[in-house]
Amino acid sequence: MSNFVSQLAVRVKNKAKRLLQGTIQRSRQWVHLKRAQYQPLNNESGICYQSVRDSLTQVNLLARPIVNSMDFLPDRYSFSGMDFSDSPHVEFAHAYLKSGNDPTWDYTQSRYYQLAKAGRLPFPVKGECQARMRCQQFIWMIEQIKRHGYQPKRFGAIVLVDTTDSKWMVINGKHRLAALLALGEKNVDVFIGIENETRAQFRRMSQSVWPPSAYSLSFQAMETLGKLNGEKADEIQQLIEQIKKQKLETWANIYHPLPFYEFGNLTTQVAPDTPYQRLQMILDAAGGDVQDKRVLDLGCNLGFYSFSLAHRGANAIGVEMREDYHGISKKVVELYNMDVDFRKDLLTPELIDDIGDVDITLCFSMIQWVIEQQGMDYGKAILRKISQRSKLLLFDVSVNHGAAALTCPRGQEIIYVQNLLADATDYTDIQCVGKVHPYDVDTRFVFACRHPGSVPQIQSSLSKPQC
């Protein structure tokens, strides 16, 4: 009897302990849910579309439903994935235009103002003063568009991205889009964003929110990003399986990402943000416009930069010496009907001459391999030839890190690369435009080299807010 009582006491004790632990866990979850708030977007994670100036496409705003992008507000406040026509932005624009500039119209009674005041709209605004300022800026924008028309090249383009359910998601320019809808505009020039770039833009934010359950609407909206290539679905899946079996890299499926929806789940050897950070630097250094520019992508791998710039209207030429990568790139060109010319060649001065004059050359993390095999003088000869054939060079190189890294005294890496470019090229305008960490533990400084007046540079848009 005493043994039975003892066992019963243990069971009761364990059950009480589990109940207590569950209560504590639910309490912590409740606290996290109450503390959940808007997570500001880190533009360094991906592509900032605020300064998009090229490859605009005219679309009919009424042809397909438009939904809100991921705002990473808690679900109780979120508009992620919801019909944009029901947004407080559109409601505000309609109300203002309906007022006819009536001085008695009180915008502080609008849902837009009330949400902004409470910090429940997807931008870092909270409080009466900031909410009033945001409303006044919105009214100014509506008036500018009403009087002078929508000017995407001046004020920034509206950016839409395809979703898997044949809708558009608005990523940038919500206020401009709301004003146009309220004004009754139908055919508008927009930038059609690349789905995987958009995913990369929001990836770090999605990893930082806690608890994830508080932001389920934003996660659901992010999962809908993508335009399926239904006609080639079987061939694409076969290629994905082929890539996985080939084991192209040491610890990942591929080196760089492939900027197409179906390939989004392949793992990459380099840190996921690195290619998108470099791409932003390319766009800034090129003046925001690569339409009809001739781009040479040296050591292109699977062609991330070639495909991304071709999507924006560039005439891209990718050079890769590895047969396995070259074959996959050519197959992707066929599957997606992309206008990219891939060549399987070694990097030589003669190759640069054979390709001829280009507007932009990309040479990322690969010249060290040429120098290791052929010597420093040979590497410098290639760089000299590039400077004679290309208006703009985007360049970085591994220094003091990696199997074939160049070496210099610690702490002088940026000076070393600057001096290398000054000594090996004819460029007189050599600027460090950023840095990347391809393997997280290393730092590579990215340089833009140009001949004076050859390429208009724009100020980096990495720090500009989304709206």
Strand partners for 225: 163
Q: Rounded to the nearest 5°, which phi and psi values hold at 144?
A: -65, -45
Q: Where are the beta strands (DSSP E) in 283-423?
A: 294-298, 315-319, 340-343, 358-364, 390-396
User: What CATH number does the domain located at 230-450 have?
Assistant: 3.40.50.150
Looking at residue 312, what DSSP letter applies? T
pLDDT tens for 87-129 read 999 999 999 999 987 888 999 999 999 999 988 887 777 899 9
Contact partners, residue 1, CB within 8 Å, separation at least 6: none
pLDDT bracket for residue 300 (50, 70, 90): very high
What's the sign of the alpha-carbon dihedral 407, 408, 412, 418? Answer: negative
Domains of the chain by residue range? 43-218, 230-450
Residue 319 DSSP SS3: strand
Say what the pLDDT of residue 52 is.
55
- How many angstroms separate the CA atoms of 381 and 190, rounded? 43
pLDDT tens for 227-284 read 888 899 999 999 999 999 999 999 999 999 998 989 988 999 999 889 989 998 999 8
How many C-beta atoms lie closer than 10 Å to residue 279's C-beta?
A: 23
43 pLDDT more than 50:
no
Contact partners, residue 53, CB within 8 Å, separation at least 6: 152, 153, 157, 287, 288, 289
pTM of the model: 0.80
Mean pLDDT of the chain: 87
CA-based end-to-end distance of the chain: 72
Mean pLDDT calculated for residue range 353-360: 97
